[in-house]
Each structure stands twice: as C-alpha cells, then as structure tokens.
Amino acid sequence: MPNTPLLAVERLQFERDDCNVFEQIDLTVGRGEIVQIEGPNGAGKTTLMRLLTTALQPTSGNISYAGQDIGLCRYEYLSDILYLGHQPGVKMTLTAEENLRWMAADSSRSAQDALAAVGLAGYGDVPCYNLSAGQHRRVALARLLTTDARLWYLDEPFTAIDKQGVSFLEKCMSDHVKGGGAILLSTHQDLAIDGVRKYGISPHADQRGL
C-alpha cells in the first residue's frame, strides 16, 4: 500500500544488564522522508540503529518493513537496507573497487564512477591497507552511489569527513529521498536539507546518571 511506511517501530525496548537502555520507541519512516534521531550521548542512538539492522535483538516491541514484520521478510528487508556507521567497514585486504562490488554485489552502478565522485579516481585497484583513514571513509561514502537499497541507516555519517565530504553526503541524501528512498540518521550536525523530521530519544530512567 502506498501510504504504508517503509519502516515502522512500535513499543521497542532493549534491555542490557537487567536495565532498559532507552524509553519505549514508537517511530515511522516513510518513503521520501529523512528522520534525524536526536538525544544526548548515551541515550541509545547507536543501540537503536543496531536493533533496526538486526545486529541486536530487541527485548520487546515490533519492527515492520513495508507493513510486514521483519521476522517474516528478513531476506527482503536486509537486501533493502544500507548501514553506514562510525567505522568505515571496509575490508583491508580488498581493493577499493572490490570493496564496493562486494558491498553492492547486485548493483548495476559503476564502482569506478562512484570512487571518482568521492575523489578516489585512480585508486580503485589499490588495496585498502595502503589507503589512509580518510580514504577509507571515502570508500564507505561511495557505497551511497552504488547501493539500490531504499532504506538507509546512517549513524554519525559525518564523522571524519571534510566540508566537501559533508556537501557530497547531503546531496546523496537529498537525491535518495527525492527518488522515493528513506533515511534514518543520527548526527549532531545541522543539516542543510529541507524537510528533515526530528525524533528525540532519551535514556531510560535506569540509565540516567550512569
């Protein structure tokens, strides 16, 4: 159904060491939307991202993708999400181009063109262990140009990138939602993108002051 949100989270809770990490989460992200998660350090923003990408399992609550519980459509869901976190997530023994092809094996988009767009033209055949930390981050950002995933999870994506990288990332985000994609991100950066919806989370009472 066209009005069904791409992502729907209901009464989501996660418990660690017998304590709830954050207050109950109720959240939707529709096609064409950017939702920015806000909250103080320790509120559980990264934990929430890990729950939504299935790296962690919630203690309670439901996560739905296009109206269906993700447990019933796990393959379709994981095939339609992209996660970009604090770490670049590149394999050091692979070249920059091999990393992109491995990360987006089904994409028809050119890995060479994506690397050129992030300032890595001519570096495609260089093993990533010979690239700098900043170049690793650029390889990760190039994934945004090769993925066909509709739902992006971006956890502090502006970490360790310069002004040019910030502009590139904001353009990728804007183009993605204009094409019907959806983005959930956490960042302390003020975005130069119109229409961003903000959703605040706070640590559960058990976690405050820790």
Per-residue pLDDT of the chain (210 residues; tens, 9 = 90+): 567 999 999 999 999 888 888 888 999 999 999 999 998 888 899 999 999 999 999 999 999 999 999 999 999 999 999 999 888 889 999 999 999 988 776 666 789 999 999 999 999 999 999 999 889 999 999 999 999 999 999 999 988 788 888 999 999 999 999 999 999 999 988 888 989 999 999 877 555 544
Nearest to 183 by CA among 197, 162, 168: 197
- 43 phi and psi, to 5 degrees? -75, -20
- Around Cβ 163, how many Cβ atoms within 10 Å? 7
pTM for the full model? Answer: 0.90
pLDDT given at position 209: 45
Q: What percentage of the chain carries pLDDT values higher than 70?
A: 94
Bridge partners for 36 per DSSP: 185, 198
The domains found in the chain, sorted by start residue, are 1-80+149-210 (3.40.50.300), 87-148 (no CATH)
> What value, to the nearest 5°, has the Cα angle with vertex 41 and ends 204 and 140?
120
